[in-house]
Structure 1
Amino acid sequence: MSRAETSLQAAWLIHRRPFRNTSLTVDLFLPALGRVGAVVRGGRKDPLLAPFTPLWVELKPSGEMYSLRACEPRGNRLTLTGKALYCGFYLNELLTRLLHRDDPNPSVWPLYEQALSDLQTQTPFDITLRQFELAALEQIGYGIPLDQDIHGHGLAPQAFYQLNPEQGLAQTETGAGYAGADLLAIAQGDWHPAARKAALSLCRHLLAPHLGNRPLKSRELFREK
């Protein structure tokens, strides 16, 4: 879709910053446009312009960004509290760091909405985050197969593998690295304790080349609690 004036579109606000006296600049995530930047004139006190509120927005191109012309709710704000809220901030920060502006990522949209929905259920938070991380990396072209090595051979449950984030998994003879059984469990969605521990380390290594040296602020929230 071109950067042309559009009618109301579904959106989530994933980041906001003060701009001048009463305005905001925001990062919005839309299914057809991906992550876009927009200026909201006089929007500092608008209660709708908060994370985790499903929105309808009308955008108008304005230089390198958009101007937010209209904003309406398309549902109630999600009731995320405690660790669920921190997880939501983490998802938003991942989107702002992983997605390039104005690069449509329609396949990531349902993954994000599913993750937000799962944060309101009894699904363990770490499983929700790992599922989102792995699926999002796959959809934006940074994923690796977790059931085969760099040569296309199926993983052996009893073997161990080292990770190269850009190439994939390579078997090691030292007994160090990720257990094949754990990697296969992750690939199959079998979230037993060892697989959950391995998935945390695996996802951090997969994400690291794409996040740069600047630490994620949302991770600091977890460390402080």
Structure 2
Amino acid sequence: HVMPTGDALLSGMYLNELLLRLLARADPHAALFDAYAGVVRVLASEHGDALEPVLRSFELLLLREIGLLPSLDAQTMTFAPLLPDTRYTLVPEGGLRAASSTDRAGLPGSQWQALQRALDDAASYTATLRACAPVAAELKPQLRALLQYHCGSPTLRTRQLMIDLQSL
């Protein structure tokens, strides 16, 4: 086995921190750990351009597996279906809602629907990875806020480590 280095190593540490904070000890999540094994293979293969999509797909799979991800094909509060060309944003306490003019983050309804279809796919890791690839940058701040909310921490330790290393 190849040991990840650099950003891939920090990414692996980040995923481990998420698992430790969000999963109950000895709580089996076979599908999630199958996806985790796939992520570790990508991290070890040093495909730097795949880091963001692979992290976003794992975050989505983790949140869904533990019941913290709302349905991505309807607005959470109203259950109204998403309109393909309208932008929606994922917020920690409100789920998926129409993006306001001040929201910097957001995705078109068609992208959220594609992510939901990928999560529902029998091969959800691969399908979610493909669906995340074109929108990884837009998903990052939304998933970060959701994860921080559920972890009960303003900044994860690995995120702070990355910030500290970048300031050197």
Return the TM-score normalized by structure 1. Answer: 0.57
Uncovered stretches (5+) of structure 2, i.e. residues with no partner? 119-130
CA contact (8 A) 2:89 2:142 kept: no
**Structure number having the greater strand percentage:** 1
Matches within 5 A, 1:178-217: 178-180=106-108, 181-184=110-113, 186-187=115-116, 189=131, 191-192=133-134, 195-213=135-153, 215-217=155-157
Return closer, same or farther for 1:110/1:190 CA change in 2, 3 Å cut-off: closer
CA contact (8 A) 1:183 1:198 kept: no
Q: How many residues align?
A: 146
**Structure number having the greater helix percentage:** 2
1:183: how far off?
3.4
How high is the sequence identity, in percent, across the aligned residues? Answer: 32
For the residues of structure 2 that align with 1:185 and 1:120, how far apart are their CA atoms? 28
The Cα RMSD (Å) is 2.4
1:175: how far off?
2.7
Return closer, same or farther for 1:147/1:131 CA change in 2, 3 Å cut-off: same
CA contact (8 A) 2:91 2:142 kept: no
For the residues of structure 2 that align with 1:129 and 1:190, how far apart are their CA atoms? 9
Matches within 5 A, 1:105-120: 105-120=29-44
For the residues of structure 1 that align with 2:62 and 2:132, how far apart are their CA atoms? 19
For the residues of structure 2 that align with 1:168 and 1:149, how far apart are their CA atoms? 7
Uncovered stretches (5+) of structure 1, i.e. residues with no partner? 1-75
Return closer, same or farther for 1:214/1:166 CA change in 2, 3 Å cut-off: closer
CA contact (8 A) 2:73 2:82 kept: yes
For the residues of structure 1 that align with 2:4 and 2:154, how far apart are their CA atoms? 26
CA radius of gyration, larger in: 1
For the residues of structure 2 that align with 1:82 and 1:162, how far apart are their CA atoms? 31
Q: Which moved more, 1:145-154 or 1:110-119?
A: 145-154
Partner of 1:125 in structure 2? 51
For the residues of structure 2 that align with 1:222 and 1:184, how far apart are their CA atoms? 32
1:167: how far off?
4.8
Partner of 2:122 in structure 1? none
Deviations 1:165-197 (A, max 9, x none): 35521225x4343232553465550522xx222
For the residues of structure 2 that align with 1:143 and 1:106, how far apart are their CA atoms? 18
Q: Which amino acid counterpart does residue 199 of structure 1 have in structure 2? A: L
Partner of 1:25 in structure 2? none
